[in-house]
Amino acid sequence: MTEARVTALRGVELNVFNLDESAEFYSKVWGLEFVAREGGVMYLRGGGAEHHILTLHEAPRASLHSINFAAQDARGVDALHAKMVGLGVEIVAAPKARSEIAGGGYGFSLRTPEGQVLTVSAGVSKQEHVFNDSSKPVKLSHIVLNVADIDKQNSFFCDTLGFRLSDSTERMDFVRCSSDHHSIALARGHGAGLNHMAYEVPSFDGLMRGAGRMKHGGYNIEWGVGRHGPGNNIFSYFVEPNGFVTEYTAEVEQIDEATHMAGMPEYWAKKMPMPDRWGMSMPSQRLREAMSGKFTEERNLRCEDIISRKMAG
Ligand SMILES: [Fe+2]
């Protein structure tokens, strides 16, 4: 029977002020590969089979545009859409063939209670050739959202979209839609927004080589290299040209549905007094500010200034 739930994270879509600058960063430094460009929209892929994992939209302000998920098949898309309609969820686009999108497929879009647009699709073309460079991302691993009301957002992802709670700490709830420990995490504080996005690389060595490429490209590691508690994943965090936080991650815990028990905040507070299992690193102040959206907002103000000066002649 077709399940009315999300089955995997596909990718993320970002609004960016300068498309060429962002495309150069994500292809030459971050390690993605160009797939297609249609007007002011650019598609980039990782080394895995997903058609594209990052979509860049040229826009006056940088922001999270949307997050893309997979359903089992077209019937799964329709079943999930019917469930959303029944629950009164805001539908942004009804189910349809997505012929205007690179990779095509069939899908619909909805809005979370805190305003993020999520697209759920099936039947998207796959990449046949996979990369053989462990320093480059294979796929999008997870998105962390800042939330104003964590109970409401947790309930939306779990009860409405079919995610399951993997772990909960004082700061965050980690929820999964596949065997990956988390595809979405919800961070308390800062109001609604994008906290960070994480891309999976195939190995620890690959993560170190990717981090080295970033360092030589002028991007310091703002947190890491370290290993998280929930998810047990290795991490290194950076701030990209739009002020968004981006992470290389590896060795993400794979969940066994038959045996996994979610750890609650008291458990994690006792087990993990430090946010890095190795006790090696703490997030920089700059990273904390970037995770709150501060640098993206500052850059947006500068871009608005440029636009208004241009209009004034
Ligand atoms: Fe992360």
pLDDT tens figures, 160-187:
999 999 999 999 999 999 999 999 999 9
pLDDT tens figures, 269-292:
998 878 899 998 999 999 999 999
How much distance in Å is there from the Cα of 85 to the middle of ligand 1?
31
Neighbours of ion ligand 1 (CB under 5 A): 198, 247
Distance CA 31, CA 38 (A): 21
How much distance in Å is there from the Cα of 247 to the middle of ligand 1?
6
Distance CA 262, CA 231 (A): 11
Torsion sign over Cα 219, 188, 46, 210: positive
Predicted TM-score (pTM) of this structure: 0.96
How much distance in Å is there from the Cα of 185 to the middle of ligand 1?
8
Task: Please report which confidence band the pLDDT of residue 1 belongs to, taking 50, 70 and 90 as the band edges.
Answer: low
How much distance in Å is there from the Cα of 183 to the middle of ligand 1?
9
CB 226 within 8 A of CB 272: no
Residues of CATH 3.10.180.10 domain(s) within the chain? 6-122, 139-296
How much distance in Å is there from the Cα of 84 to the middle of ligand 1?
28
Average pLDDT over residues 261-266: 95
SS (H, E, C) the chain: CCCCCEEEEEEEEEEECCHHHHHHHHHHHHCCEEEEEECCEEEEECCCCECCCEEEEECCCCEEEEEEEEECCHHHHHHHHHHHHHHCCCEEEEEEECCCCCCCCEEEEEECCCCCEEEEEECCCECCCCCCCCCCCCEEEEEEEEECCHHHHHHHHHHHCCCEEEEECCCEEEEECCCECCCEEEEECCCCEEEEEEEECCCHHHHHHHHHHHHHCCCCCCEEEEECCCCCCEEEEEECCCCCEEEEEECCCECCCCCCCCECHHHHHHHCCCCCCCCCCCCCHHHHHHHCCHHHHHHHHHHHHHHHHHHHC
Which residue is it, tokens 């002011």?
40
Contacts of 69 (CB under 8 A, 6+ apart): 6, 7, 8, 9, 10, 118, 119, 120, 121, 177, 183
73 phi and psi, to 5 degrees? Answer: -165, -175
pLDDT at position 306 is: 84
How much distance in Å is there from the Cα of 91 to the middle of ligand 1?
28
Is the per-residue pLDDT at 60 higher than 80? yes
CATH code given to domain 6-122: 3.10.180.10
How much distance in Å is there from the Cα of 62 to the middle of ligand 1?
20
Give bridge partners of residue 249 from the DSSP assignment. Answer: 200, 235
pLDDT tens figures, 61-116:
999 999 999 999 999 999 999 999 999 999 999 999 999 999 999 999 999 999 99
How much distance in Å is there from the Cα of 196 to the middle of ligand 1?
7
How much distance in Å is there from the Cα of 198 to the middle of ligand 1?
5
Distance CA 171, CA 228 (A): 13
CATH code given to domain 139-296: 3.10.180.10
How much distance in Å is there from the Cα of 167 to the middle of ligand 1?
14
pLDDT at position 140 is: 98
CB 211 within 8 A of CB 221: yes
Buried b or exposed e, range 238-275, using 16+ CB within 10 angstroms:
bbbbbbbbbbbbbbbbebeeeebeebeeebbeeeeeeb
How much distance in Å is there from the Cα of 199 to the middle of ligand 1?
9
How much distance in Å is there from the Cα of 78 to the middle of ligand 1?
31
CB 89 within 8 A of CB 161: no
